[in-house]
Amino acid sequence: MRKRQGRRGSILVEFSLAGIASMCLLITTVSLGIGMWNYHTLAYAVHECTRFAAVKGHNCTLPGNSCSVTVATIAQKFASVGVGVPPGQVNVTLTTQSGAVTSCVPLSSCYTNSATWPPSSNSDNKVGNNITISAAYQFRSVMLFFWPGKGSQQVGTIWLPATSTQPILF
């Protein structure tokens, strides 16, 4: 009888010790999975938008063709392909081979930009010229509070970058 009374509460103590570690592991696993999914979605959206813009070059601006696109069209394409990545937390940069840069900070600010892209200035829309689309997504997570070397970033915030370069095909 005495031996049994000495173990009273031991299950509660063991569960507390193991339960806290298990909950932290579960939260970290879910948070890491969400971060990986967001990064993959961001990289996919950048790649698809670069492919979309690569076939909208010089020949699309010639009389009789109406396939040229605007910065707004590319921004809306990015938002439709990047499902789950909020447009208000993504910064997108469109860069031509000559170095002309169009920035959308955040992405939603370019929904009404009617400038044709790639631009015809400096022959940036010439077939064979490279175009680059870069994006950075601000990912927030509880897990990132403990991220080593986070430096001057805010607690729980990390920027996920993605870049894609393709030559203009048409």
**pLDDT-based confidence at residue 20 (cuts at 50, 70, 90):** confident
Give the chain's mean pLDDT.
87
150: pLDDT strictly greater than 80: no
Report the predicted TM-score, pTM, of the whole model to 2 decimal places.
Answer: 0.82
Write down the pLDDT at residue 130. Answer: 96
Torsion of CA 111, 105, 159, 51, to 10 degrees: 50
Cα 43 to chain centroid, rounded: 6
Write down the pLDDT at residue 148. Answer: 59
Instruction: Report the SS3 class of residue 157.
Output: strand
CB-facing half-sphere around the CA of 24: CA atoms within 13 A:
10
Q: Return the structure tokens found at 74.
A: 């590319």
Domain spans of the chain? 2-167
54: pLDDT strictly greater than 70: yes
pLDDT digits (tens, 9 = 90+) for 95-145: 999 999 999 999 999 999 999 999 988 888 899 999 999 999 998 877 666
80: pLDDT strictly greater than 60: yes
